[in-house]
Structure formats: C-alpha cells, structure tokens
A and B are shown apart, each in its own frame.
Chain A
Amino acid sequence: DSGVTQTPKHLITATGQRVTLRCSPRSGDLSVYWYQQSLDQGLQFLIQYYNGEERAKGNILERFSAQQFPDLHSELNLSSLELGDSALYFCASSHTSGREFAKNIQYFGAGTRLSVL
C-alpha cells in the first residue's frame, strides 16, 4: 500500500460528460502529480501541484483541469469527454517539490480507470 488513495476505482461515462477524479496523497506529502496511461501513449505526465499551487504542466488538454485543496487532496476534472480520453489516471505524491528532483521519489495510487462510451 503506497498510502496514496484514488477514488473512484472505475468510472464509466458517456461522451460529452464531465467527471471528477479524486486523490488523497500520503500523509505529509505536499506534492501531487497526475499521470494518464493509455494503450497508445503509455504513461504521460499531466500536471503537478505543490502545496495548493500549480507547479508544472505536461501534455494536459484544455478540457482537463486540476486543483489541490488546503487539506492537500487533489481533484482532476475532465470535461467534454471523448472516446480517446478512456485511460487509466494515476495520482502520485511526494514529500517535496523543491530543487531535489533527481532524488525525489513519487508514490503512486492504484489509479482510476475511466471508460468513455
């Protein structure tokens, strides 16, 4: 158990809809990261938050947004869903976002499997 909790585990929805994925980081971790894993693109970084502020952005679509709340949990909002958004979405957390990237360890949740029909 990594200590990172993601809900829901599975989500089935229709095209055009909006969903929210939730992540609770490990106790004490200030950074939260979101990754998307699809069959054709592999594991890709979407966005990072550190202590409530956006810190880095990857290949995140404009239809997607995220936030980190004062209690450090994070939500990833996906809107106007398309079939191609079907994927596994992982949240990870780490203790620091400082400058120590090279030694930083990220702990991943079990993921949310999104199916867009």
Chain B
Amino acid sequence: DAKTTQPNSMESNEEEPVHLPCNHSTISGTDYIHWYRQLPSQGPEYVIHGLTSNVNNRMASLAIAEDRKSSTLILHRATLRDAAVYYCILRTDYGGATNKLIFGTGTLLAVQP
C-alpha cells in the first residue's frame, strides 16, 4: 500500500472549520483514500472515503486534489467531540492487496472551547 504523510498534530477552535491535510504522492490510479478517526479511549471509526471526486457525508467532507497526490479532510464546524487522532489510509483492490488497514501515526486534533 502506498504511504501517506500527515502532520503530527493540529489545533482548532470550537465551531470553526478544520482542514486536515494528507499527502500521498505515490498514490496509484486504483487507490481509494480513506479516513478513520480514533476518539480517546475508543476504537477507530470510519469517517469517509473517495477515489477522485470530492465527497460529502454527515460527518465530514473529503477534498481530493486534481492530481490525487494530496487530500484534505474537512470538518465544517469542529466540536469538542471531534478531538481525536485522524488517520489517512490508502486502499487498493489490486497488486496483492489485502483487506487489512495500515495505520500510520495520524494527526492528533485538539479542539479548544
């Protein structure tokens, strides 16, 4: 699986938008971009995924660069409950792919009241 790079930590204020970046310069055409998050003392939780087009769901939006070498997870209005570690993960169906998730170190998001 291709590698992703995320900042170790970010801070945000409550009620403000948050943009969490992820670089994946070696992404292949078949790689989907997934985001999971892990709230304190909980298991990881699926957030969103996409391939080429921007995606929206009830939790967040995913903006994918035109060259697909980077993406941004957008939380439109951060709440204290969004404080978590956010993981950007690439997944593919081909080339010896398996169903396991490969977690990096993620971005620790702190939300200030």
Q: Name the interface residues of B67-110: CB closer than 8 Å to any CB of A.
A: 87, 91-93, 97-105
Residues of A within 8 A of B91 (CB): 101-104
How many residues of B are in contact with the other chain, CB < 8 A?
25
Q: Name the interface residues of B36-55: CB closer than 8 Å to any CB of A.
A: 38, 41-46, 49, 51
When the two chains form their complex, are residues B100 and A56 in contact, meaning their CB atoms are under 8 A apart? yes
With known contacts A101-B93, A102-B30, A102-B31, A43–B99 Cβ distance under 8 A: no
Q: Mark A94-117, 1 if CB is under 8 A from B, else 0.
A: 100101111111111111000000
Residues of B within 8 A of A92 (CB): 43-44, 101
When the two chains form their complex, are residues A102 and B93 in contact, meaning their CB atoms are under 8 A apart? yes
Cα distance A31–B104 in the bound complex, in angstroms:
23
When the two chains form their complex, are residues B42 and A110 in contact, meaning their CB atoms are under 8 A apart? yes
When the two chains form their complex, are residues A108 and B49 in contact, meaning their CB atoms are under 8 A apart? no
Nearest neighbor of B104 in chain A, beta-carbon distance: A42
When the two chains form their complex, are residues A43 and B103 in contact, meaning their CB atoms are under 8 A apart? yes
A sample of 7 cross-chain residue pairs with beta-carbon separation below 8 angstroms, ordered by A number, consists of: A48-B100, A101-B91, A102-B30, A102-B93, A105-B49, A106-B101, A110-B42
